[in-house]
């Protein structure tokens, strides 16, 4: 606390005069000057009035002094009794003066009498006010938990975080970071955490070792001098860990000076989770497989309770043989508190497994009070990749020089996406690549050629991979025939009246030649028979 002072000014003081001041602390905190000082300094804690005697010692005897100002600092004990609004000052040093001179007591006025001055002359006083400098932002945070006694798995509790700006200036960029006890708690809704009306951000992650972790971040917001804001965080105890769990919170402001960042910017709340016999099973395996694949399941058994366990047994109906223990922690037959054991087993996927392999694994462990058990499930999607290619040529025939367009329709006929689907043509080479083809989707590619003088048949192949890297493919072909155009033909689609010259039409052409030859012979014989009567008539 600042020391309080009082200044007493006098316009003139005759050599040998005295000034006696009395400081009276009234009910309203008024400080005034007075007379009749005590001989000894009283105990400030036992009296209401303190009357310092102020000596004036001239530096020479040359004459009277004028414009005298005396300033004295109050003792700390007295200063502590003064209200904040009292800012008057007394001189820092005080010695004895002539006690025969007297001063009359008035509020804010010192009246002194001497042989050289008129009795009752008034000399006004003045006060040197002590101005309080505004303090910069100073944040503090507190945290409480509404937990009542020891917590158990599944219990919920509420943390209340209160942030206050203790400074005289507005705190800006105020941010709160609340870190939950790793593995022991998860944030629950509602309510959703907010700070000063602004929604917080809740993030969850997994720390090394598979330990879940959650934190709440709030802000930035601004807090006026003396203003407080609260954050309410509701959490659920998951029972993974037992014993003491500590939730910590920190607050900082953008304009809070480093000197004000102290222990009160950090707060903690600790609760107790009951340590009872528990066992925890985690099962892992592939998410996808094909019929005929051999898959491996991995099991982790952990003692997350408060007592050691024995006779650990693990079973899984989808294991082709009993699970094998390949890591038993410390090597003994007891699963100690916090210890982990690891098992594995294999299974070959068959058609009888269906499209989804769902199974439940079970683990048990004994303790003095009985048996604890836990289960975990896992699912494997059995996928069936498949692809279909349809190739067509338009037109399918025409004279030399006809422009032919090939269309390649690729369809994913399986139940899983395909990637890097490529289409190639044995005559044209690479046709194109489809980056991803969803199950049931169709995508078309095209290529073009100009028909030569010979018929053409070419084969296309579509190939793609499923999410496990298995490749599937399909082929299809298309043939184009060459026709000889005639005068009135259209030439482009084989309908112009020309005869097709292809290997597949050779037999038909020969048949027509035989028929035409026979018809010609009949006509020739008939013509000769008709000409004979005319000869006879001649």
CB 269 within 8 A of CB 296: no
Backbone phi, psi, residue 480, to 5° = -130, 130
Q: How many whole angstroms separate alpha carbon 335 and alpha carbon 344?
A: 17
Specify the DSSP class assigned to residue 184: T
Backbone phi, psi, residue 128, to 5° = -95, 100
| pLDDT the model gives residue 64 | 52
For residue 530, the surrounding DSSP H or E stretch is: helix 506-537
CB 18 within 8 A of CB 98: yes
| pLDDT the model gives residue 119 | 47
Backbone phi, psi, residue 351, to 5° = -65, -25
Share of residues in the chain with pLDDT > 90 (%): 53
Q: Give tens-digit pLDDT for 108-147.
A: 434 344 444 444 444 444 444 556 789 999 999 999 999 9
Q: Which domains does the chain have, with CATH numbers?
A: 1-132 (no CATH), 139-273 (2.60.40.1530), 280-380 (2.60.40.1230), 383-527 (2.60.40.10)
| pLDDT the model gives residue 349 | 97
pLDDT at 300 over 60: yes
**Highest mean predicted confidence (pLDDT) among 207-216, 235-244, 421-430, 515-524:** 421-430
Closest by CA position to 136, among listed 91, 169, 184, 109: 169
Q: How many whole angstroms separate alpha carbon 316 and alpha carbon 374?
A: 12
Residue 521 CB partners (closer than 8 Å, separation 6+): none
Q: Is the pTM of this model over 0.85?
A: no
């Amino acid at each position: 606390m600042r020391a309080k002072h009082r200044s007493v000014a006098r316009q003139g003081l005759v050599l040998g005069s005295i000034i006696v001041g009395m400081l009276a602390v009234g009910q309203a905190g008024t400080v005034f000057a007075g007379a009749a000082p005590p001989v000894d300094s009283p105990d400030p804690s036992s009296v209401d009035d303190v009357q310092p005697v102020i000596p004036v010692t001239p530096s020479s005897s040359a004459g009277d002094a004028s414009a005298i100002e005396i300033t004295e600092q109050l003792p700390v004990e007295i200063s502590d009794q003064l209200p904040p609004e009292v800012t008057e000052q007394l001189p820092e040093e005080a010695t004895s003066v002539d006690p025969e001179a007297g001063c009359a007591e008035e509020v804010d006025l010192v009246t002194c009498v001497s042989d050289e001055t008129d009795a009752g002359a008034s000399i006004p006083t003045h006060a040197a006010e002590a101005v309080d400098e505004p303090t910069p932002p100073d944040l503090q945070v507190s945290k409480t938990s509404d937990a009542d006694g020891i917590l158990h798995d599944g219990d919920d509790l509420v943390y209340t975080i209160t942030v206050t700006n203790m400074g005289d200036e507005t705190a800006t960029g105020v941010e709160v970071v609340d870190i939950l006890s790793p593995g022991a708690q998860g944030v629950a809704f509602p309510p959703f955490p907010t700070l000063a009306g602004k929604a917080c951000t809740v993030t969850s992650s997994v720390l090394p070792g598979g330990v879940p972790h959650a934190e709440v971040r709030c802000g930035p917001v601004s807090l006026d001098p003396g203003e407080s804001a609260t954050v309410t965080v509701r959490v659920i105890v998951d029972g993974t860990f037992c014993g003491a769990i500590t939730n910590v919170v920190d607050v900082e402001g953008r304009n809070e000076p480093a000197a004000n960042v102290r222990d009160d910017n950090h707060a903690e709340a600790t609760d107790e989770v009951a340590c009872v016999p528990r066992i925890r099973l985690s099962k892992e395996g592939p998410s996808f497989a094909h019929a005929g694949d051999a898959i491996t399941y991995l099991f982790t058994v952990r003692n997350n309770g408060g007592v050691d366990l024995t006779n650990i047994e693990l079973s899984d109906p989808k294991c082709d043989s009993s699970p094998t223990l390949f890591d038993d922690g410390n090597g003994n037959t007891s699963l100690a508190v916090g210890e982990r054991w690891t098992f594995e087993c294999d299974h070959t996927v068959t058609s009888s497994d269906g499209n989804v392999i769902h199974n439940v694994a079970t683990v048990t462990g004994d303790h003095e009070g009985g048996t604890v058990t836990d289960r975990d499930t896992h699912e494997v999607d059995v996928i069936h990749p498949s692809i279909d290619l349809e190739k067509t040529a338009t037109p399918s025939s025409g004279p030399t020089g006809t422009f032919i367009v090939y269309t390649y329709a690729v369809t994913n006929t399986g139940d899983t996406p395909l990637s890097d689907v490529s289409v190639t043509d044995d005559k044209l080479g690479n046709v194109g690549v489809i980056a991803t083809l969803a199950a049931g989707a169709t995508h078309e590619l095209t290529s073009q050629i100009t028909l030569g003088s010979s018929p053409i048949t070419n084969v296309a192949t579509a190939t793609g991979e499923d999410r496990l890297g298995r490749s599937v493919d399909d082929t299809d072909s298309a043939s184009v025939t060459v026709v000889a155009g005639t005068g009135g033909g259209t030439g482009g689609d084989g309908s112009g009246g020309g005869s097709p010259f292809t290997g597949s039409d050779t037999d038909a052409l020969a048949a027509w030649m035989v028929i035409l030859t026979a018809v010609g012979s009949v006509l020739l014989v008939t013509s000769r028979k008709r000409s004979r009567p005319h000869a006879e008539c001649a």
